[in-house]
Amino acid sequence: MAGGVAAAPRAGRSPWRHPSFVIGGAIVGCIVVVALVSLVWTPWPATKMNIPHKLLGPSAEHWLGTDHFGRDVASMLMVGARNSLAVGFVAVGIGMLFGVTLGTLSAAKSGTWLDEAIMRSADFTFAFPAVLSAVMITALLGPGVVNAIIAIGIYNIPVFARLTRSGALQVWAKDFTLAARAAGKTTVQITLRHVIPNIGGLIIVQGTVQFATAILAEAGLSYLGLGTQPPNPSWGRMLFEAQTYMQRQPLLAVFPGLSIALAVLGCNLLGDGLRDIFDPRVARSRA
Amino acid sequence: MPAFVLRRVLGLLATLAATALIVFIVLEILPGDPAAVMMGVNATPETIAAVRLEYGLDQPAAVRFVHWIGGLLRGDLGNSYTYKVPISGLIAERAQVTLPLAVMAVLTASSIGIPLGVVAAARANTRWDAAVMALSQIGLAVPNFWFGILLVLTFAVTLGWFPSGGFPGWGAGLWPGVQALLLPALALALPQGAIIARLTRSAVLEALQEDYVRTARAKGLTWRQTLTRHVVRNAMPPVVTILGLQFSVLVAGAIIIENVFSLPGLGRLMFQSIAQHDIIVVKDLVVLFAGLVVTMNFIVDLAYGWIDPRLRKT
């Protein structure tokens, strides 16, 4: 993670010159397009069972074969992409919204009891990895995608809170915030006008990394049966079901895993690329 | 240093107490009647009342919390509703699988990640470096439970070298036990190894910029000697401490991996307890896992203070 405050991209510095950004962006872009297309079209209805055609290999009719219920794997993967992205967006959105708010508040009230309380709470939340939070929430409310989103979202809050606080503290130490304060601007005005725009890059970069983590967590929870519930297709759930039929149709265990890996790889590369664009010092130090 | 340690110990105790309180509130107070949750929707009011009485769930929440904390401190976690045995015994039995698995995973991840990271840094900006970085990107992206499934498919189903799942118990001998844990440990080690390789690379690159490297070379040490005797040694503390901070990832991974390989460990026990609505066991296990994460963070915190005296003032 970039240690300092994100610098604004230099004028004329083309993002297309960063291979990580281009490759990651292309992978993520493809998955987003596939997910959007699945809203209006899939090769077959994703949840339609066709037992006589179960466990078929890839063919012109079923591009990636069929599962143990005869459902079209390609169609399920397309709808699964939609679910993974939706969970990722909402969970990271929750983490970002609450985390950035708490982080900026903590930085603005640095050294006070409020700052201490927020940061100690963030430390405390780290004790509960997403899977552990999901286990508790599931034991309480039962399994389901909404509960998985809540668990992953809660896990994301301290990540953004800590990052935002450290970035915001550096902005608060700059001369221009001092000048704004001298000009009579309130803490809220300075936070909105100066602090958040200056740490925006940092938050976006972390957002892509957390998005990858959220996709992995959702897949893991769905694999355990704690996330997306049948008949809604999910990559993690598909992997769980494929395990039983691995000897008869090994490819069933390959495609969902490959989809998860590609999505995570794409997000991580995109994050690396964005980091290089927002903070060229990191790129130079990595070279 | 004593003041620093005392502050951190007080912080640890406060966090552990808060963890226990939150877990208790979420699992015993928020459901309303934990006995009803445990017995399911088809239970009769008489059965629910009997369970409430048997497990002391009829007492006020504050009394139950104090009783539970007292039990935790004495090592008496009560009895499992599903297994009808003391939970402490159940946890001790299952830990015989999870602890060796975690140790094997950390050892595997370190023995792969550290050499790869050193090679990448020593040959920075070469094809070796690019290959290691690409491998680490893949290691971070591949879900460990999918990697576990692929390992089973290759080494158990196709080649038949390893069992596809289950655990024979340490009573069956050391090798059958280790053999059953090898593939799961490898699966668990994948993301850890990738993280360690990346961290080691950046720590070694940073250490290479230090003055003592120039001094060592001027003294007549070869490049390899300088690297192994000075650079790697100095680069290791941050890697080891980050390894400690990654413990929560290992905990989360173990819960899933034990289910992939049907290992009778703590993670699988937790999963089974949820399926059987055994809230008492779930509560103890969540506190155990969260407590382990908090304690590991505390150890890392102390290690940082020991390595860098400036941090003791914070």
Of B137, B149, B248, the CB nearest to A239: B149
Instruction: Give how far Cα B287 sits from Cα of B103, B170, B244, Å.
Output: 21, 27, 19
CATH class held by domain A32-39+64-281: mainly alpha
B307 — pLDDT class (breaks 50, 70, 90): low
DSSP string, B113-125: HHHHHHHHHHTTT
pTM of structure: 0.87
B19 and chain A in contact, CB less than 8 A: yes
- Report yes or no: A279 and A2 within 8 Å, Cβ to Cβ: yes
For A245, name the nearest residue in chain B, comparing CA atoms only.
B153
Per-residue confidence (pLDDT) for residue B293, from 0 to 100: 83
Can you tell me the mean pLDDT for B189-212?
A: 91
Q: Which of A220, A215, A261, A256 is nearest to A71 (CA)?
A: A256
More confident residue, A8 or B201: B201
Per-residue confidence (pLDDT) for residue B1, from 0 to 100: 63
A6 — pLDDT class (breaks 50, 70, 90): very low
Angle at A71 between CA A70 and CA A72, to 5 degrees: 115
**Is pLDDT above 70 for A79?**
yes
Can you tell me the mean pLDDT for B213-217?
A: 90
CB atoms within 10 A of CB B239: 22
Q: Which of A215, A226, A250, A266 is nearest to A91 (CA)?
A: A215
The mean pLDDT value of chain B amounts to 88
Domain boundaries, chain A: 32-39+64-281
For A262, name the nearest residue in chain B, comparing CA atoms only.
B141
**Is pLDDT above 70 for B56?**
yes
- Chain A positions touching B202 (Cβ under 8 A) are 286
More confident residue, A83 or B240: A83
Structure letter (DSSP) for residue B227? I
Our CA-based measurement puts residue A241 at a distance from the nearest CA of chain B, in whole angstroms, of 11
Per-residue confidence (pLDDT) for residue B39, from 0 to 100: 82
A5 — pLDDT class (breaks 50, 70, 90): very low
Can you tell me the mean pLDDT for B120-140?
A: 94
Tens of pLDDT along A89-148? 999 999 999 999 999 999 999 889 999 889 888 877 777 777 777 777 877 777 889 988
ipTM of predicted assembly, 2 dp: 0.86
Q: Percent of chain B beyond pLDDT 90?
A: 46
Per-residue confidence (pLDDT) for residue B289, from 0 to 100: 86
Structure letter (DSSP) for residue A229? P
Per-residue confidence (pLDDT) for residue A4, from 0 to 100: 44
Q: Cβ contacts of residue B268 below 8 Å, gap of 6+?
A: B94, B258, B259, B262
Per-residue confidence (pLDDT) for residue A280, from 0 to 100: 59
Per-residue confidence (pLDDT) for residue A8, from 0 to 100: 44
Tens of pLDDT along A31-60? 999 999 999 999 999 999 999 999 999 999
B82 and chain A in contact, CB less than 8 A: no
Per-residue confidence (pLDDT) for residue A1, from 0 to 100: 39
Query: Do the chains contact at B157 and A247, CB–CB below 8 Å?
Result: yes
Instruction: Give how far Cα B156 sits from Cα of A120, A247, A279, B262, Å.
Output: 46, 11, 46, 14
**Is pLDDT above 50 for B138?**
yes
Can you tell me the mean pLDDT for B1-30?
A: 84
- Report yes or no: B136 and B194 within 8 Å, Cβ to Cβ: yes
- Report yes or no: B193 and B139 within 8 Å, Cβ to Cβ: yes
Per-residue confidence (pLDDT) for residue B7, from 0 to 100: 83
Rounding to the nearest 10 degrees, give the CA dihedral for residues A72, A76, A79, A82.
Answer: -150
Structure letter (DSSP) for residue B219? T
Query: Do the chains contact at B145 and A223, CB–CB below 8 Å?
Result: yes
- Report yes or no: A215 and A260 within 8 Å, Cβ to Cβ: yes
Our CA-based measurement puts residue A140 at a distance from the nearest CA of chain B, in whole angstroms, of 6
B33 — pLDDT class (breaks 50, 70, 90): confident
**Is pLDDT above 70 for B216?**
yes
Query: Do the chains contact at B279 and A247, CB–CB below 8 Å?
Result: no
In the structure encoding, which two tokens stand for residue A282, read together?
Answer: 């990191």
Four-residue CA torsion sign, B61, B65, B71, B75: positive
Query: Do the chains contact at B146 and A256, CB–CB below 8 Å?
Result: yes
Can you tell me the mean pLDDT for A177-185?
A: 92
B274 and chain A in contact, CB less than 8 A: yes
Of B23, B140, B291, the CB nearest to A136: B23
B313 — pLDDT class (breaks 50, 70, 90): low
B314 and chain A in contact, CB less than 8 A: no
Which amino acid, B63? V
In the structure encoding, which two tokens stand for residue B116, read together?
Answer: 């790869």
What 3-state class would DSSP assign to B80? coil
**Is pLDDT above 70 for B133?**
yes
Per-residue confidence (pLDDT) for residue A234, from 0 to 100: 94
